[in-house]
């Protein structure tokens, strides 16, 4: 069986593209494919990752310009057709700007850029990206962002909760939701959410930086395994 | 008609504005007293050619909703000044 092609989108200013490319390449059965932001075809990819960084310099708002780039028209079409799309960090911001995920990501409540190891709790395993985790499992990813404060109106937050679409939450080492464990002020400690159909996942922390014990954690491998299986 | 457009974008009321908060503290540190509710927004200007006032207003409103503001977290307003030339 030939390897499943997974697209890694590059905008000017994306800077985690190589990490994501390597994460996909390290996942069994997958073959990463670069997708340049000006492209209008998806080159036959079966899954797509929007990597972290500062697409278009975060001008206006993080993700606001990227959202209207030529490739995004195809990404939106792909997501709406049910194809698996993973947005990490800046990729999550782009997905909310594109309307593929609800809410918005604002400046961190503490104003500072936060870069640290972070405990997360997997609160939904009902997505292709988290099916390899146990419900309530604690994982350790890196966060590195200045605008990760997730906001949405109460009605949207309630709906996300009821529908089990809050996939990752910031927690302390005991798995408890505390203000101290929240790096950016996100509503209800939300770190990652999924679309209604569960084929789109956006999260601020970096599974792509948790692919090997050499760098402290391999907890991110399951996200990429799930993505590749959903794409196959 | 040519019009000069000024668009103002600000976080909605009730949204925490950490940048504004930081400025507020900085102003207090400089000795200014009685400072409250500092908010930081964006001011975007451009010139639009063609179309009557109504058409331009409709277009600018659409620009705000689609790109210039994120209405999940921001509110916007704009002003038109006709050049008349």
**How far apart (Å, rounded) are the C-alpha atoms in residues A62 and A106?**
9
- Sort residue B84 into left (φ over 0), alpha (ψ -120 to 50) or beta: left
**How far apart (Å, rounded) are the C-alpha atoms in residues A169 and A228?**
23
Q: What is the pLDDT of residue A1?
A: 59
| Pick among B16, B72, B75 to test the A interface (most A CBs inside 10 A) | B72
CB-based contact B70 A97, cutoff 8 Å: yes
pLDDT higher than threshold 80 for residue A131: yes
Among residues of chain A, what percentage have pLDDT more than 90? 98
Within 10 Å of residue B49's Cβ, how many Cβ atoms? 9
Higher-pLDDT residue of B16 and A201 is: A201
- Sort residue B53 into left (φ over 0), alpha (ψ -120 to 50) or beta: alpha
Higher-pLDDT residue of B19 and B8 is: B8
ipTM over 0.90: no
Strands of the sheet containing A200-203, edge to edge, are: A30-36, A4-10, A47-50, A85-88, A200-203, A190-194, A166-170, A114-122, A138-145
pLDDT in tens, B36-56: 999 999 999 999 987 788 999
Catalytic status, residue A206: yes
The whole-angstrom distance between B33's CA and the closest CA on chain A is: 23
Tokens found for residue B29: 């540190």
pLDDT (average), residues A127-145: 98
Tell me the pLDDT band of B2, cut-offs 50, 70 and 90. confident
For residue A149, give the 3-state DSSP assignment. strand
Considering only residues 35 to 64 of chain B, which have any Cβ-Cβ distance to chain A shorter than 8 Å?
A: 42
pLDDT higher than threshold 90 for residue A2: no
Q: What is the pLDDT of residue B71?
A: 95
Chain A residue whose CA is closest to B42:
A60
CB-based contact B68 A60, cutoff 8 Å: yes
Q: What is the pLDDT of residue B84?
A: 63
Biggest distance spanned by C-alpha atoms of chain B: 50
- For A45-54, A205-214, B45-54, which range has the lowest pLDDT when averaged over its residues? B45-54
Of A118, A113, A119, A121, the closest CA to residue A90 belongs to A113
Kindly list the residues from chain B whose CB atom is less than 8 angstroms away from the CB atom of residue A104: 70, 72-73
């Amino acid at each position: 069986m030939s390897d499943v092609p997974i697209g890694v989108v590059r905008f000017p200013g994306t800077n985690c593209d190589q990490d994501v490319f390597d994460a996909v390449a390290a996942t069994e059965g997958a073959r990463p494919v670069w997708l340049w932001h000006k492209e209008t075809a998806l080159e036959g990819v079966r899954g797509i990752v929007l990597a972290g960084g500062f697409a278009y310099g975060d001008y206006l708002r993080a993700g606001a310009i990227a959202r209207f780039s030529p490739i995004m028209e195809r990404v939106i079409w792909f997501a709406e057709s049910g194809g698996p799309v993973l947005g990490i960090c800046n990729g999550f911001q782009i997905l909310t700007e594109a309307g593929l995920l609800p809410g918005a990501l604002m400046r961190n409540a503490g104003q500072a850029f936060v870069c640290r190891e972070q405990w997360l709790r997997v609160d939904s395993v009902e997505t292709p990206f988290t099916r390899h985790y146990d419900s309530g499992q604690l994982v350790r990813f890196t966060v590195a962002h200045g605008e990760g404060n997730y906001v949405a109106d109460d009605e949207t937050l309630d709906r996300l909760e009821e529908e089990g679409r809050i996939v990752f939450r910031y927690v302390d080492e005991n798995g408890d939701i505390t203000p101290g464990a929240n790096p950016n002020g996100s509503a209800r400690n939300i770190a990652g959410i999924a679309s209604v159909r569960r084929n789109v996942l956006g999260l601020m922390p970096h599974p792509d930086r948790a692919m090997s014990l050499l760098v402290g954690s391999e907890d991110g491998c399951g996200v990429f395994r799930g993505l590749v299986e959903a794409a196959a | 008609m040519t019009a000069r457009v000024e668009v103002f974008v600000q976080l909605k009321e009730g949204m925490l504005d950490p940048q504004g908060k930081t400025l507020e503290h900085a102003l207090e540190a400089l000795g200014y007293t009685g400072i409250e509710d500092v908010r930081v927004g964006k001011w975007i200007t451009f010139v639009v050619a063609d179309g009557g006032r109504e058409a331009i207003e409709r277009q600018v409103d659409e620009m705000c909703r689609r790109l210039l503001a994120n209405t999940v977290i921001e509110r916007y307003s704009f002003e038109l000044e006709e050049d008349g030339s």
